[in-house]
Amino acid sequence: MNDVPAPDWIAVDWGTSNLRVWSMRGGAMLRCAHSDEGMSTLEPDGFEPALNRLITQLGGDAGLPVMACGMLGSRQGWVEAPYRSVPCTPLSDDFSSVGAVHIIAGLKQNKPADVMRGEETQIAGFLALNPGWDGVICLPGTHTKWVELSAGEVVSFQTQMTGELFALLCDHSVLRHSVRSGAWDADAFDTSVNEIISRPERLAARLFAIRAGDLLEGTAPATARARLSGLLIGAELAAARPYWLGRDIAILGASAQSNYYLAALKTQGVPATLADAERMTLAGLTAAYRLWKDAS
């Protein structure tokens, strides 16, 4: 610890299930710590101790400025950070603060109604590292976001619950008996994406066909699981077609999930750029820190 410079600020990504904290010096990351004390696990008086435990672990002190994004700014979080309306820049210098903790506001879209909280920071990080970039960012996750960017602003966005639907069908539907596998059938995935993009109205029927194929044909679990993912992501692409057709696309997310979206777009002849989500988060939090410093 003695060989590591002292941090001058703290970066925080506080999700529903997890808390990630980085000690920072300027734009350089020094150390990282994480815990499973996500927003959903804490009572209002538990946020500050949970954060301070990790800051201490990183060699910082509770008086350092903290830039935070994620669900701690939700209505059920530590302090509610009101949504900003699109079109707007991903970040502003108007933070919701409690002590030294400065919480980044999420974004809202009034028609059709939609919200994001946390993704705006990743978007800001991508723009900080790719200045002048216009196009569409896809942020795969439990609730995947498709975000249109122009002239440094979020113009519109669309959320799809594909990740949550996949988890529910794998764990709590009749398909759970057929899809238990850690392996993957890339050809089955590609075929399912193409099939459902052309006929999305067949989704419910094709989902049950996964179970029927298992019972009647002995479909391998790896194939069944890939088909399920391909059908759901393909249906998402069909709904999000105005976002990705003929546009520059960047995908921000965890590597495995991002690669599925990359493969799905490839079946439609659409190239996309992959960007590391954690790197984008840190770049966005750093941009927020600089905004806060300039405004202080």
Inter-residue contact 248 to 133 (CB < 8 Å): yes
Going by C-alpha positions, the residue among 223, 253, 291, 54 that lies closest to residue 146 is 253
* Domain membership of residue 180 as a residue range: 160-276
Domain shared by 253 and 287, yes or no? no
Q: What is the CATH number of the domain that holds 179?
A: 3.30.420.310
Sequence-distant (6+) residues with CB within 8 A of 130 are 250
Q: What is the CATH number of the domain that holds 56?
A: 3.30.420.300
Element (H, E) at 276: strand 273-276
Please state, rounded to an integer, the average pLDDT across all residues of the chain. Answer: 95
| Other residues' Cβ atoms within 10 Å of the Cβ of residue 228 | 24
Average pLDDT over residues 121-145: 97
Structurally, the chain folds into a number of domains equal to: 2
pLDDT at 62: 80
Inter-residue contact 66 to 10 (CB < 8 Å): yes
| pLDDT at 175 > cutoff 60 | yes
pLDDT at 187: 98
| pLDDT at 255 > cutoff 90 | no
Average pLDDT over residues 166-187: 96
Domain shared by 116 and 33, yes or no? yes
Total-model pTM = 0.95
Domain shared by 15 and 45, yes or no? yes
Average pLDDT over residues 114-129: 98
What pLDDT band is residue 4 in, cutting at 50, 70 and 90?
confident
Residue 120 falls inside a structural domain: yes
Domain shared by 123 and 175, yes or no? no
Inter-residue contact 264 to 237 (CB < 8 Å): yes
Domain shared by 173 and 120, yes or no? no
DSSP state letters, 75-127? TTSSS--PPEESSB-S--S--EEETTEEEPP-EEETTTTEEESSHHHHHHHHH
What pLDDT band is residue 2 in, cutting at 50, 70 and 90?
low
Average pLDDT over residues 277-282: 95
pLDDT at 48: 95
Q: Cα-flanking dihedrals φ and ψ of residue 101, to 5°?
A: -95, 125
| pLDDT at 254 > cutoff 90 | no
Domain shared by 179 and 102, yes or no? no
Domain shared by 66 and 16, yes or no? yes
| pLDDT at 1 > cutoff 60 | no
